[in-house]
Amino acid sequence: MQVPFVDLKAQYQSIKDEVDEAMQQVVDSCAFILGPAVSRFETNFGQFLHTQHAIGVDSGTQAIELALRAVGLQAGDEVIIPANTFIASALPVTRLGARPVLVDIDPKTYNLDVNQLQSAITPRTRVLLPVHLYGQPVAQMESILQIAEAHHLTVVEDACQAHGATLKGKRAGTFGKAAAFSFYPGKNLGAYGDGGMVTTDDEQVAYLVKQLRNYGQTVKYHHDHIGFNHRLDSIQAAVLDVKLKYLDRWNAARRQHAGEYMAALADVEGIILPHVPNEVEPVWHIFAVRVKQRDALMAYLEEHGISTGIHYPIPIHLQPAYENLGYKAGDFPVTEQIANELVSLPMYAEMTPEMVTYVSDKIIEFLSN
């Protein structure tokens, strides 16, 4: 049996007619930039999240950057982020001349360890940037918001992997002053190219993001700010609007597969399964397990037609690009440990129970030997 890590072709085939028609409508209208397709998707995504404003941009990375700009982050400021995240959580901070300040993670959830948050705050701290990693919301969002309020800080959520995930029934991306989503093709809600979204209930933040994404203008040729070209393409918006109708169904399928993995591997020695806190409903963008012999397991699964991944093999503080931050090996022990042990298993809505069983059986076979 062949089990890919993700199968975008299978997803496309299930909605091919709708997607093809939506793209053709954009081509026929020739409204390629900030046209009706973008406005329609922004409205529908905002309604999906129950947020007042959703502003389409060209990537999740730029969604983070524009959100940070709109909440007033300045050069010399500091932004606290978890040590275990994709580097795109840190890059926008650096581009703005601010400093990413890393905090180690909870050993169960792999999300930011709120207990270490207070000690990382300095007079230069301006923003807390929790990451809803792997599609699981940070369970301690209430504590993060309380800490932010006590220190007069702003919370911007990195929800780039958490489309539709909930904490106490509230969608990820609706807790902070602003949030960023990515529509990279492999995401639970993925475009056929790059794309992103900033969400907020704050009128001023929404106004600024709309200007900043479009050359700093709201009226053509009248530029109130130094802006950029970070607009969401109309064809991508049309594709995403079709997919949005299926997102809850696809997320439910991912949860079903996660439950099947959990049941099959529950009593297996040598593997640590994901932990889901109470009142958290993940969407399982990534299903990551921990195994001491990670590289050997990945090679064994590859031999048997199973593709896997690592999210993420080299922590931010050990990346050459961030040597200037002054961190060293050992500074974030939990992050460093899981970076050597985590392996991401195949996870996508179109998987079959037989695929999950096959992957689980091969893992058990490897560990038993």
Share of the chain above pLDDT 90, in %: 99
Look up residue 287 and give its DSSP letter: E
CA-based radius of gyration for the chain:
21
Share of the chain above pLDDT 70, in %: 100
Backbone phi, psi, residue 278, to 5°? -60, 145
Residue 25 CB partners (closer than 8 Å, separation 6+)? 37, 238
218 pLDDT exceeds 90?
Answer: no
What residues does each domain of the chain span? 8-103+112-244, 247-368
CB 214 within 8 A of CB 231: yes
Tell me the pLDDT tens digit for each residue of 220-274: 999 999 999 999 999 999 999 999 999 999 999 999 999 999 999 999 999 999 9
pLDDT grade for 26, boundaries at 50, 70 and 90 = very high
CATH of the domain spanning 247-368, picked from 3.40.30.10, 1.10.3210.10, 3.90.1150.10, 3.30.70.1450: 3.90.1150.10
Backbone phi, psi, residue 244, to 5°? -55, -35
Distance of CA 296 to the CA centre of its chain: 28
* 322-342 as b/e: b if 16+ CB within 10 A: beebebeeebbebbbebbebb
Per the omega criterion (within 30 degrees of 0), is the bond before 221 cis? no
Domain 8-103+112-244 indexed as CATH 3.40.50.11540: no
CB 213 within 8 A of CB 55: yes
Tell me the pLDDT tens digit for each residue of 91-121: 999 999 999 999 999 999 999 999 999 999 9
Strands 154-158 and 170-171: unpaired
What is d(CA 232, CA 62) in angstroms, rounded to the nearest whole number?
11
Tokens of 141: 């969002």
Measured CA distances, 129 to 31, 132, 144 (Å)? 35, 10, 10
Average pLDDT over residues 328-337: 98
What is d(CA 211, CA 219) in angstroms, rounded to the nearest whole number?
9
Tell me the pLDDT tens digit for each residue of 267-282: 999 999 999 999 999 9
CB 362 within 8 A of CB 369: no
**For the purposes of burial, counting CB atoms within 10 Å of the CB of 26, is it exposed (0-12), middle (13-18) or buried (19 or more)?**
buried
Average pLDDT over residues 46-50: 98
